Amino acid sequence: MVCLNAEVIRSSMSTLPRPVAALCQVTATPDKEANFSACKQLVEEAKERGASMVFLPEGFDYIGSSREETLSLSESLTGDTISQYTQLARKLEVWLSLGGFHERGHDWESDRRIYNSHIIINDKGDIISVYRKSHLFDVELPEKGVSLKESAFTIPGPSLVSPVQTPIGKVGLGICYDLRFPELSLALQRHGAEILTYPSAFTVATGSAHWEILLRARAIETQCFVLAAAQVGRHHEKRSSYGHSLVVDPWGEVLGDCGGEKPGMVLVEIDLEKVRSTRRNMPVQQHRRDTGFYHSLEKT
């Protein structure tokens, strides 16, 4: 396990300095001010340790205890919360991946619903990309104690967004439940992604069963690094999260795991040569047939 006080995980492939990414693991509550304070401390620590980009999990702003509370605490992209983070990025000169912001929808005044939005802020404090979660978690698993209906208050995002060029490489954006849909990761890879990121707040039941397996599968099939910042622990009396913020390399090897007990951080060097060499040595994408081939069963 590699957490807050650990050294940066260094690549075995090169002695040259590589850009460092930091994945933060937090326990968000309905207290937005306390959540920002905790995240700010982790971002500052990451910058001190040499990170050029810091990743925060889904629900970094808050995790509400009811539909009503979740909606009432939401903001627009021009509200105080994102303003605080743009100022932080500018002050520290660090890139931020804000992995799941409760963004008031375009028709908020009439329909009172939100987007689950992944926001990328550059080191000048500019918002350069916003991806709105496209697959919503509507799942009932009574035997596992899981019951969530995200669509009751969330609008599905209209489209994917192009991978973003960052100091650590070209990053393709997803959020949590998107992890279960390989079509999304493959689309991002085809458009140049070298790194996929899935900020999450997995339930304990689904996380213990599927989290690492899914992340490693997405890395192996796309031959990308996968960075997944996670919520951990008890948010309020109705909800807990699995944790285990994870870094996976393009071969599917887990490079860092922040554990399932407490907030912390994983720091890792991103060596893009590992992406290139993996794809060169096993050219999966070149072996892929045309799209029509995979739809040929539908015509029979």
- Residues sharing a CB contact under 8 Å with residue 257, sequence separation 6 or more, in sequence order: 1, 2, 244, 245, 246, 247, 266
pLDDT interval class at 9 (50, 70, 90): low
pTM beyond 0.85: yes
Percent of the chain clearing pLDDT 90 (strictly above): 83
Active site residue 140: no
Spot the catalytic one: 3, 176, 224, 258: 176
Structural domain spans, the chain? 20-287
User: What pLDDT digit, counting tens, does each position of 178-228 carry?
Assistant: 999 999 999 999 999 999 999 999 999 999 999 999 999 999 999 999 999
Residue 172 and residue 1: Cα distance in Å, rounded?
Answer: 25
Answer yes or no: 273 catalytic.
no
Which top CATH class is 20-287? alpha beta
Q: Is 58 a residue of the active site?
A: yes
Instruction: Give the whole-angstrom CA distance, residue 199 versus residue 205.
Output: 17
Q: Say which of 24, 39, 47, 58 is annotated catalytic.
A: 58
Helix axes 182-190, 212-222, angle to 10 degrees: 30
- Asked if residues 31 and 235 have their Cβ atoms less than 8 Å apart, the reply is no
